[in-house]
């Protein structure tokens, strides 16, 4: 009976993936669901599963390093970031799944895992390229302690970079996500969102007005929020016709 480990620091996401794997591949035995890289490495070396589903950004040791250090195992990276794709395939990953993972994409991954022989890196890389060209993200996965929730992209007024995270700001809440702005921007609908500052992405529909202060700097005032967002000179041209 094939066995698998699922490593993700969001336990709800691990449980959700485990449930879907059980539904689509009943013969697969989930032997462990560690929540950080150190525990994942220990469990991989102890339990020796056939397959490891690894998040890339985990506390302790990241998923790429876990894959390098662990006993031989077929690795599938399950992550919100496509920036590590080249490193993943250099680590001999069997597949690379971008969150949120659709049922169709997961089924293709399972089919690949069920095939014998070496990992089909070319096919996986092609699918990653296709994933970058699919429709923009519609939901954000955000976590608060032991709780994981989905936030509709339609509710987001703006994104703002912080020291370590990115804030997705809705009308009445601020949600922390781990995706940096530079990785988030290509996955947003360019007709709905625009970068207006190196640390700010705003939804066009959320903009009430753009004003110029005494020093000539542009400031965005929002319809449903009291935040005032800066516009850097590099992006000022976005609003010339407004």
With a CB cutoff of 8 Å and minimum separation 6, the contacts of 88 are 56, 64, 77, 96
Q: What is the pLDDT of residue 178?
A: 79
Taken in order 20, 23, 25, 31, the sign of the CA dihedral is: positive
- Indicate if 107 and 180 belong to the same structural domain: no
Instruction: Measure the CA–CA gap between 196 and 14, rounded to whole angstroms.
Output: 35
- Indicate if 120 and 159 belong to the same structural domain: no
Q: What is the pLDDT of residue 119?
A: 44
Instruction: Measure the CA–CA gap between 104 and 86, rounded to whole angstroms.
Output: 23
- Indicate if 234 and 199 belong to the same structural domain: yes
Instruction: Measure the CA–CA gap between 222 and 211, rounded to whole angstroms.
Output: 11
Taken in order 136, 138, 143, 147, the sign of the CA dihedral is: negative
Query: Max Cα separation, the chain?
Result: 71
With a CB cutoff of 8 Å and minimum separation 6, the contacts of 214 are none
- Indicate if 15 and 124 belong to the same structural domain: yes
SS3 234: helix
Tokens of 105: 């994409």
Helix H or strand E segment including 110 = helix 103-114
Instruction: Measure the CA–CA gap between 187 and 180, rounded to whole angstroms.
Output: 12
Q: Model pTM?
A: 0.52
Q: What is the pLDDT of residue 118?
A: 41
Which residue, chain included where needed, has tokens 């399950």? 78
SS3 140: strand
- Indicate if 13 and 127 belong to the same structural domain: yes
Spatial CA neighbour of 230 closest among 220, 240, 242, 239: 220
Instruction: List Cα–Cα distances, 182 to 4, 43, 218, 219, in angstroms.
Output: 33, 34, 22, 21
Q: What is the pLDDT of residue 88?
A: 58
Q: What is the pLDDT of residue 92?
A: 64
In degrees, rounded to 5, the angle at the alpha carbon of residue 65 between the alpha carbons of residues 62 and 66 is 85
- Indicate if 119 and 34 belong to the same structural domain: yes
With a CB cutoff of 8 Å and minimum separation 6, the contacts of 206 are 157, 158, 222, 223, 224, 225
Other C-beta atoms within 10 Å of 183: how many? 15
The tens place of each residue's pLDDT in the chain, 242 residues long, gives 899 999 999 999 999 999 999 999 999 999 999 999 999 999 999 999 999 999 988 898 888 889 888 888 999 999 886 665 556 555 567 888 888 888 889 999 999 898 754 444 444 445 545 544 445 778 887 766 666 678 889 999 999 998 878 999 999 999 988 788 888 888 888 889 999 999 999 999 999 999 988 888 899 999 989 999 999 988 877 776 54
Q: What is the pLDDT of residue 221?
A: 96
Residue 76's domain spans which residues? Answer: 3-132
Single out the residue in 64, 97, 132 at which a domain terminates. 132
Q: What is the pLDDT of residue 226?
A: 94
CATH number of the domain encompassing residue 231: 2.40.50.1020
Single out the residue in 110, 132, 154 at which a domain terminates. 132
Domain count for the chain: 2
- Indicate if 78 and 171 belong to the same structural domain: no
Single out the residue in 65, 100, 132 at which a domain terminates. 132
């Amino acid at each position: 009976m094939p066995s698998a480990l699922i490593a993700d620091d969001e336990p709800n996401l691990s449980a959700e993936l485990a449930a879907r794997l059980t539904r689509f591949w009943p013969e697969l035995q989930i032997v462990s669901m560690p929540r950080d890289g150190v525990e994942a490495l220990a469990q991989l070396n102890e339990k020796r599963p056939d397959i490891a589903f690894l998040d890339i950004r985990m506390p302790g040791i990241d998923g790429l390093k876990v894959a390098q250090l662990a006993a031989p195992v077929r690795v599938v990276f399950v992550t919100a970031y496509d920036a590590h794709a080249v490193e993943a395939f250099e680590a001999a990953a069997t597949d690379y799944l971008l969150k949120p993972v659709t049922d169709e994409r997961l089924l293709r991954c399972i089919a690949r895992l069920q095939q014998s022989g070496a990992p089909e890196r070319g096919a996986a890389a092609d699918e990653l390229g296709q994933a970058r060209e699919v429709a923009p993200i519609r939901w954000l996965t955000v976590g608060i302690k032991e709780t994981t929730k989905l936030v509709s992209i339609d509710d987001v007024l703006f994104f703002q970079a912080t020291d370590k995270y990115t804030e997705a700001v809705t009308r009445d809440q601020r949600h922390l996500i781990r995706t940096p702005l530079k990785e988030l921007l290509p996955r947003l609908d360019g007709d709905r969102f625009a970068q207006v500052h190196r640390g700010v992405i705003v939804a066009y529909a959320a903009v009430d007005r753009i004003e110029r202060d005494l020093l000539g700097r542009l400031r965005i005032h929002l319809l449903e929020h009291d935040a005032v967002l800066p516009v850097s000179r590099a992006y000022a041209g976005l609003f010339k016709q407004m």
